[in-house]
Amino acid sequence: MAAVSVFPSQGELGAALARLVAEAAAEAVASGGRFTLGLSGGSLVPLLARELPPALSAAPGAEPARWLVAFCDERLVPPEHPESTGGAYRAQLLSQLPPPGPRVLGVSPGLGPAEAARDYEEQLRRAFPGMDIPQFDLLLLGVGPDGHTCSLFPGHALLQEQTSLVCPVLDSPKPPPQRVTMTLPLLNAAKSLLVVATGASKAPVLKRILQEQQQPLLPAARLRPRSGRLRWLLDRAAAAELQIPLEKCS
């Protein structure tokens, strides 16, 4: 059963998220020498850009120079395009971290969808030598009002993918249509998944995912780590249709 935490405001949620990332980084660096982090885009980018740098200042053991950062999905647009997840993180968050900063893996610009997915999967496999499926220390994910996560959309054939770890998306219902996304086998291999949802538009779908478990399962309801931990972080508006008490951010 996933853990669910509800915060009175997006600001308190953001502070708690940043603290959890910093704590996970410090623990991973202390135990294994590096911290592997997968990031989703959208509203997570400005949230982390605002909250994570000060949280890291209070956690010197987190050491961003020992991080490996990858992106859970990417739109196939130039890095400077406003829809680029990697471009947004480089401009808003990674540029704030002390040099030399993390090692960053990303989709290679200029490739077609299938080639970009193959290249990105090869990058990930090289970064996790000896593992059949790379196991990230932490993946930060979002969920859309339709229940999608990463670029895995309701009813899409990629929800059944069992072999490839990264796949192209040619027909995303959200623009731009061409994307690359991690698949469920890779997502569910992570040691820890944090799913963040804010705003009233998410309330109906969160009720479906967390309390009703309607069939067929929505993409975000298929986040079920094989041996890791799953935790949802919600603000009051997103959790409005759930019967869950609020948490305070200390």
Mean pLDDT over each residue of the chain, to the nearest integer? 94
CA distances, 100 to each of 14, 66, 67, 97, 220 (Å): 25, 9, 11, 8, 34
Label residue 1 by pLDDT band (50, 70, 90). low
d(CA 169, CA 158): 9
3-state secondary structure of 114: helix
Distance between CA 2 and CA 138 in Å, rounded? 15
E strands along 83-188, which residues? 103-104, 138-142, 166-169, 179-182
- Residue 247 reports pLDDT greater than 90: no
Nearest to 19 by CA among 193, 234, 250, 230: 250
Report the alpha-carbon distance of residue 64 to residue 66 in Å, rounded: 5
The whole-model pTM stands at 0.95
**For residue 122, what pLDDT band results from cuts at 50, 70 and 90?**
very high
Average pLDDT over residues 107-125: 97
Q: Rounded mean pLDDT of 76-84? A: 94
Strand partners of residue 6: 234, 246
Please report, rounded to a whole number, the percentage of residues in the chain having pLDDT higher than 90: 92
**Going from the N-terminus, what domains does the chain have, and what CATH number goes with each?**
3-235 (3.40.50.1360)
209 by DSSP, 3-state: which?
Answer: helix
Average pLDDT over residues 223-249: 87
**DSSP assignment letter at 83:** T
Alpha helices, DSSP H, located in 58-136? 85-92, 113-127
Element (H, E) at 188: none
Interatomic CA distance for residues 183 and 164, integer angstroms: 7
How far apart CA 4 and CA 44 sit, in angstroms, is: 18
